[in-house]
Amino acid sequence: MKKVFSIIFCFIIVIPAFQTFVRVFPEIKIEEKRVLATFPKISLSEKTLEGLTNYFNDNFGLRGSLIFMNNYIDLSVFKISPNSQVIIGKNGWMYYQPSYESNSLVLNQMDVELVSRKIYDFQKKVEADGKKFVFVLAPDKESIYPEFLKDKLVGLGNYELITNVLKQNNVNTFDGLKLLQDAKGKGSMVYSKNDTHWTRYGLFLTINEMFKALGRSAIDSSGVEDVQRVGDLSLLVGFNNSETVPQPIVDNSKVVAKDRVLIFHDSFFDNEMYFTLLFKNFKKIHWATGPIEKEYVDLENSYDVVIMEIAERDFIKLGTKL
């Protein structure tokens, strides 16, 4: 028996090394949200040794397969996350750790007031230039689907607090939380099980409500179709498995694209499918790239509408960009 175990052990040690140089066996590719190390330029320096070490660590044979097996065992057997950025909830639901931490705290109302007033001051500048403005607060997944979390969060009232203060400060916005909760209550899937973000149906509902806030007519949908989507959280734990999510069926021939739109946004507005359909032209700027005021001043004459969108968890951070 010892001889058998010794053979198995040697096999396990030797095969990855053999695969590193020969690449006989098919590899499982793991999406890691980073660039793997490349082979370094050889020279007589310590950096070459460090580069070779990094290259080997990222590229040794069967690495993807071994990571996949480890992640599969962690998730399927032990029900734990192999990635600290991902929380495994009930029934296989996944949540983003920074978002979870944000909802673990109750926001300070004075901080919310300060950011809200900054948004309103920016809105006044936009409107003084003869343009329309709307602020979109994207609810965190925890605020819509808290029932699949293993622990209760005390900060799940943050969205209501922010929205109430925004409205008190006359910011042109709407209650996206109630909108999506109502749709969920009617049986619609508005957030993905293995993604941080809303489904395309959740995005569609939000954009329709945003249109109403801008004085525009809502977009018509003739129904909903199922599409396959691989979630970002699923990728972070080493799986490329897709899930079925709803997508509205929109008749493009009945949509009239108009307005030149400047959009300050985060990843919740990364999907451009509706923006391309609805706007004559648009420019998207991630709010984390720099001061919003400066970006607006440089581009103000090129656009008729300004949209500012941010996820609930990052609302307070927005204050440093305004």
Q: What is the pLDDT of residues 206-248, one digit of tens each?
A: 999 999 999 988 888 888 999 998 899 988 887 777 899 999 9
Q: What residues does each domain of the chain span? A: 2-77, 96-321
pLDDT of residue 251: 82
Cα separation values, 34 from 48, 99, 104, 156, 202, Å: 21, 21, 28, 32, 28
Q: Is the pLDDT of residue 26 over 70?
A: no
Do 57 and 94 form a contact (C-beta atoms < 8 A)?
no
Do 283 and 72 form a contact (C-beta atoms < 8 A)?
no
Task: Report the percentage of the chain scoring pLDDT > 90.
Answer: 56
